Amino acid sequence: MKNADEAKDYGLDVPIYTIEYTDDNDDVISVYFGNNTGDNIYATLEGEKSIYTVSSQVIEDLNYTEEDLIQLDDYPSIGSGNLEKAVITQNKNSVVYDSADETQTEQIIAIAGGLGAVQLSTTADYCAEEKELSEYGLDEDLRAAVEVTYQEDEKEKKLTLYIGNRVGDDRYVMLNDSKIVYLVSDAICGNILNEEE
């Protein structure tokens, strides 16, 4: 413990990290972390003049990005073996593709291939507001809706995927009941929508 005249000498005038916690008396206490010193880091409590050195491991869990905090949507495994039906609606027109219809085998394979290649890992917006959806081409009037019926664990399940505007080599995509806007390859989206090349 050191008595310091100048907090800036320890990087505590503009702390690298500030942690606030509430004690048993409901008092909020702030802990400030400043410069590193070897394997330690300088720290002080709000309103105190004493400066402490603590192990820098204390703040290791504070090193994260915004993406580390976001829980992305789960996406099922869909392929030609478990895809039963896809209803694609664009511009208020719907087309039904049914795996039981032998005349649609080629289309079902293309759609299933696209659905199976989707990876919801790259995000464009973590929490899109309703008013922002038109910017992505994902509002109800602009988006393509793909309603999928598939088998998983011997149960029939449904999924709706919304596909919006192109951006570079990708398109904006959302799952039903999600606020996250993803980027998915334009080629994959083209397969899902059964678009002719």
Same domain, 100 and 37: no
pLDDT digits (tens, 9 = 90+) for 155-188: 999 999 999 999 999 999 999 989 999 999 999 9
Number of structural domains (the chain) is: 2
Which pairing describes strands 40-45 and 28-37: parallel, antiparallel, or unpaired? antiparallel
Cα(124)–Cα(72) distance, integer angstroms:
12
Residue-level pLDDT at 197: 52
Cα(125)–Cα(35) distance, integer angstroms:
34
Same domain, 94 and 152: yes
Q: Is residue 103 part of a domain?
A: yes
Q: Is residue 68 part of a domain?
A: no
Same domain, 50 and 90: no
Of the three residues 63, 94, 113, the one that is the final residue of a domain is: 63
Cα(148)–Cα(145) distance, integer angstroms:
10
Same domain, 54 and 87: no
Residue-level pLDDT at 66: 66
Q: Is residue 70 part of a domain?
A: no
Rounded to two decimals, the pTM is: 0.70
pLDDT digits (tens, 9 = 90+) for 22-76: 988 998 999 999 999 899 999 999 988 899 999 988 888 777 776 677 788 999 9
| 81-86 long-range contacts, CB within 8 A, separation 24+ | 81/112, 82/150, 82/151, 82/152, 83/108, 83/111, 83/112, 83/115, 83/148, 83/149, 83/150, 84/149, 84/150, 84/151, 84/156, 85/148, 85/149, 86/111, 86/115, 86/146, 86/147, 86/148, 86/149, 86/192
Q: Is residue 197 part of a domain?
A: no
Residue-level pLDDT at 153: 93
Same domain, 141 and 91: yes
pLDDT digits (tens, 9 = 90+) for 80-119: 899 999 999 999 999 999 999 999 999 999 999 999 999 9
Same domain, 93 and 58: no
Q: Which domain, by its residues, includes 181?
A: 83-192
